[in-house]
Amino acid sequence: MPKSRKSHPSLRPPCKALLLAGLLVCLAAPGPAQAASEDRRLGTLDIAARDQTEFVGQFGRAGSLIFFTSRRGPASELVVQLQVNGVVLDATMNIREQEVAWTGHGGALFRHDRDALVAFSRKLDVELAPQQRALRLHEDFLRRLVHLWAEAPVGLTLGDQRLKRPTEEPARFLERKSPGSPDLAFAASCYIPENNGITYFSCTFENKVVCHDADNGGHCFTCEFRPAGCGGSCLAECGPGCFGLNVVTWDCGDHDRCCQHHGGCLNPFDSNCGDEYVEAADDFLFGSANCPFCGGI
């Protein structure tokens, strides 16, 4: 970080001399201390390399450190690695086949890791400015993965995952999935697969059907109407809070509601929302920004 330049005392106009000419302006203007505080809140992003084929650097915040590498490799392949406080996350994409393999090598992310990833996702979006320019493929892949990993339920074992871009959107079973329907609300077992491919919700913040593992009150699986879309809590936007990927989908709604139901997915070793998380991965990695100004960047 470059050293701040100091002004010579004789070149700085004293505030007393500005009393009649503009004391209020002098006092209200944001000073260096305010800017430094903002930088500390968001964290520090140091870029080691950035060009047509790679993006490499590190991010630090509140004692956490993230090293990241994103490269476009040979044979139409994208390769990303993150080290989050020592936890290694790897992913590759076969661009031609539109297939992604990712893994946490059996590790898990905890509260301070997730906090760092959420802050990194914000800082990365500011740096990449995806709403102002088209991202390079390896930059876009990195951004999507950071948002995905920032949403991992705390303590969930991150093993090997492989997924392919869905070729078709599934039918919307809104009527069958109405809240309280006996086939779903009182299912016999928990962790029911319920992957809806990439099925987009409307951007409007209004009641939508979301389904998740409840595991309390005698219900292992339940569906309910919840306010979702752009606005409020931005439930169903893929990514942390209202600063996600501007992709609003059914599976991301299921995951968000499950986390909301179980205390934000911040309870260590709570795997209730692990299946919803994995089922939403294709929405994060392949979903289009159907709500381009949902939560802002």
At which of 108, 130, 163 does a domain end? 163
In this structure, the answer to whether residues 125 and 193 fall within a common structural domain is no
Mean pLDDT of 146-151: 96
Reported as a single tens digit per residue, the pLDDT across 74-115 is: 889 999 999 999 999 999 999 999 999 999 999 999 999 999
- Pair 142, 198 in one domain: no
- For position 215, what pLDDT does the model report? 64
Please tell me whether residues 205 and 253 are part of one structural domain. yes
Do residues 259 and 218 share a domain? yes
Phi and psi torsions of 173, nearest 5° = -90, 55
For the chain, how many structural domains are there in total? 2
Is residue 154 within 8 Å of 265, Cβ to Cβ?
yes
Any domain includes 69:
yes
The span from the CA of 276 to the CA of 253, in Å, is 9
The per-residue pLDDT for 6 is 38
Provide the H-helix boundaries in the chain.
19-28, 32-42, 111-128, 137-150, 182-185, 250-261, 274-279, 281-286
Q: Is residue 23 part of a domain?
A: no
Which residue reads 């968000």 in tokens? 256
Q: Provide the 3-class DSSP secondary structure of residue 84.
A: strand
The reply to whether 225 and 267 lie within a common domain is yes
User: Can you count the helices (H) and strands (E) in the chain?
Assistant: 8, 9
193 φ/ψ angles, rounded to the nearest 5 degrees: -60, 130
Indicate if 194 and 123 belong to the same structural domain.
no
225 or 38, greater pLDDT: 225
Model confidence over 207-222: pLDDT tens digits?
988 888 766 545 577 7
Give the other-Cβ count within 10 Å of 213's Cβ: 25
pLDDT for the residue numbered 197: 83
Q: Which residue has the tokens 């969930």?
A: 156
Could you report the per-residue pLDDT of 225-262, keeping only the tens digit for each? 889 999 888 999 999 988 899 999 999 999 998 888 77
Range of the domain at 185: 166-286
Q: Is residue 294 part of a domain?
A: no
- The answer to whether residues 49 and 159 belong to one domain is yes
Q: For residue 85, tell me if it sits in a domain.
A: yes
- pTM for this predicted structure: 0.79
For residue 5, being part of any structural domain is answered with no
Q: Is 147 helix (H, G, I), strand (E, B) or coil?
A: helix
Which of 163, 194, 220 finishes a domain?
A: 163
Amino acid at 99: E
The answer to whether position 114 is within a domain reads yes
Whether residue 293 lies inside any domain: the answer is: no
Whether 64 has a pLDDT exceeding 70, the answer reads yes
Domain end among 142, 163, 184: 163
pLDDT of 127 higher than 50: yes
